[in-house]
C-alpha cells in the first residue's frame, strides 16, 4: 500500500517533542514551562522574520496591498506574544530559583532571532554581536542582517517611487539623522492630513507603527514579569536585570511615525 502522510510525520511532532531537555535533575516541574514558552517564542520569531523578509520584497515590487496583509499577520502574532508572557506568572519565584542557576550564563540576550527582528526594524546595534562569540552561525546571520536593508529602507524607497519626497533613513548615530527625521516628518504630514490621502501607503504606515507599538508592549510586559519573578537580581546574562530592561522601553523602530502625530493640525 502506498505510504500515506500522517499529521505527526508532516509536522515532525516526534522530533519536536524530543527538543525539551530540562537541565535540572531530577527535572523541576516548572522547567518544562520555561523551556516550552521560550521555544514557542522562537517559533513565532521565525515566522515574523519570514513575513518581514516577504514584506520587503512586496515593497520592492510596489505591492502595498500584500505588504499590509503580511504586517497585519505580524501584528496578530505579536498580540499572542504579548499575552502569552503572562503564563509565566503561574510560576512562583521560588520555583524559578530552583533551576535558575543551571541556566547561567544563557540569557534572552542571546536570542539571535529577536536581534534579527530588531535589526530589520532599524534597531541595528553592532555591539550585540559580542553576545554571539560562541555561536558563529548566529553571528554570521546577524552580520548579514546588519548589512541588509531594513523595513524602513524599503518603505521609504517605495514611497519615493510613488512621488513622495522621502529617502531611506541614515544611521541613527550619524549627523544626518536629525535632518532626515525633520524632512521625513514634514512629508509624512501630507499622508496623515491631506486629502486624498494615499490609502495604500497610509495603511502600511499604520501597520508599521502597530508593529512598533506591540514590540514596546512586549518589552513592558516582559520587564514586569521579570520584576515579578526575580525582583532586582542581576540577569543570567549579566545585565543589571530589570533596570536594563526598563532602559529598552524607550526604543522606537519608527520614531518619525510617532513624531508625525505631534505635527499634524486639524483644519
| Interatomic CA distance for residues 131 and 138, integer angstroms | 10
Q: Does 119 bind ligand HEM (CB under 6 A)?
A: no
Q: Does 244 bind ligand HEM (CB under 6 A)?
A: yes
Pick from 207, 222, 256, 257: which binds ligand HEM (CB under 6 A)?
222
Q: Does 56 bind ligand HEM (CB under 6 A)?
A: no
Residues 51, 54, 56, 59: what is their CA dihedral angle, to the nearest 10 degrees?
-120
Q: Does 239 bind ligand HEM (CB under 6 A)?
A: yes
Contacts of 24 (CB under 8 A, 6+ apart): 31, 98, 99, 102
Q: What is the DSSP letter of 267?
A: -
Cβ closest to ligand HEM, residue 82 vs residue 229: 229
Cβ closest to ligand HEM, residue 37 vs residue 200: 37
Beta carbons of 20 and 35 less than 8 angstroms apart: yes
| Interatomic CA distance for residues 154 and 57, integer angstroms | 8
Q: Does 238 bind ligand HEM (CB under 6 A)?
A: yes
Query: Least distance to ligand HEM from the beta carbon of 202, Å?
Result: 30
All three cell numbers of 39 = 521555544
- Chain positions 21 to 40 lying near ligand HEM, rule: CB under 6 A, are 37-38
Query: Least distance to ligand HEM from the beta carbon of 162, Å?
Result: 34
| Interatomic CA distance for residues 231 and 222, integer angstroms | 13
Q: Does 216 bind ligand HEM (CB under 6 A)?
A: no
133 in helix, strand or coil? Answer: coil
Pick from 24, 66, 107, 186: which binds ligand HEM (CB under 6 A)?
107
Binding site for ligand HEM (CB under 6 A): 37-38, 41, 85, 88, 96, 107-109, 111, 114, 222, 226, 229-230, 235-239, 241, 244-245, 248
Amino acid at each position: 500500500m502506498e505510504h500515506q502522510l500522517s499529521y505527526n510525520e508532516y509536522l515532525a511532532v516526534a522530533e519536536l517533542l524530543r527538543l525539551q531537555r530540562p537541565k535540572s535533575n531530577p527535572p523541576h516541574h516548572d522547567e518544562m514551562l520555561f523551556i516550552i514558552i521560550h521555544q514557542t517564542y522562537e517559533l513565532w520569531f521565525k515566522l515574523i522574520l519570514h513575513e518581514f523578509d516577504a514584506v520587503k520584497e512586496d515593497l520592492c515590487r510596489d505591492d502595498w496591498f500584500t505588504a499590509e496583509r503580511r504586517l497585519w499577520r505580524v501584528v496578530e502574532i505579536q498580540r499572542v506574544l504579548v499575552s502569552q508572557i503572562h503564563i509565566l506568572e503561574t510560576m512562583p519565584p521560588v520555583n524559578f530559583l530552583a533551576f535558575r542557576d543551571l541556566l547561567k550564563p544563557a540569557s534572552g540576550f542571546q536570542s539571535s532571532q529577536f536581534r534579527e527582528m530588531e535589526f530589520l526594524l532599524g534597531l541595528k546595534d553592532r555591539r550585540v554581536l559580542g553576545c554571539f562569540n560562541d555561536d558563529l552561525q548566529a553571528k554570521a546571520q546577524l552580520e548579514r542582517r546588519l548589512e541588509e536593508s531594513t523595513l524602513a529602507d524599503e518603505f521609504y524607497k517605495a514611497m519615493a517611487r510613488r512621488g513622495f519626497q522621502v529617502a531611506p533613513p541614515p544611521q541613527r548615530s550619524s549627523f544626518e539623522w536629525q535632518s532626515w527625521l525633520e524632512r521625513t516628518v514634514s512629508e509624512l504630514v501630507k499622508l496623515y492630513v491631506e486629502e486624498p490621502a494615499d490609502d495604500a501607503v497610509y495603511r502600511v504606515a499604520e501597520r508599521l507603527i502597530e508593529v512598533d507599538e506591540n514590540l514596546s508592549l512586549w518589552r513592558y510586559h516582559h520587564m514586569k514579569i521579570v520584576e515579578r519573578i526575580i525582583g532586582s537580581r542581576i540577569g543570567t546574562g549579566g545585565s543589571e536585570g530589570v533596570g536594563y530592561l526598563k532602559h529598552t522601553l524607550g526604543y522606537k523602530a519608527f520614531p518619525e511615525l510617532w513624531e508625525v502625530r505631534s505635527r499634524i493640525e486639524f483644519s
